[in-house]
Amino acid sequence: ASSTVAEWGLVCGERYKVGLVQAVFFAGCMIGTYAAALSASADRYRNSAFLS
């Protein structure tokens, strides 16, 4: 089992990728939460539990 750092070659020159991946993941979580909230609001909580 190799680490993400070794697999992507995140050496000193490309350390910005670590922060970039974390920022993209966090942005995806925020967008997903917003979409789930919109779905729950529009659906009046009927089927939103099934989606999450």
The pTM of the whole model exceeds 0.75: no
* Amino acid (1-letter code) at residue 44: R
pLDDT score of 47 more than 70: no
- Give the tens place of pLDDT for each residue, 10-34: 777 777 877 888 899 999 999 998 8
CA 52 to chain centre: 14
**pLDDT computed for residue 43 by the predictor:** 61
pLDDT score of 41 more than 60: yes
Please provide the average confidence, as pLDDT, over all residues in the chain.
76
Distance CA(28)–CA(20), nearest Å, equals: 12
- What are the residue boundaries of the structural domains of the chain, listed by start? 4-51
**pLDDT computed for residue 48 by the predictor:** 56
Distance CA(2)–CA(49), nearest Å, equals: 36
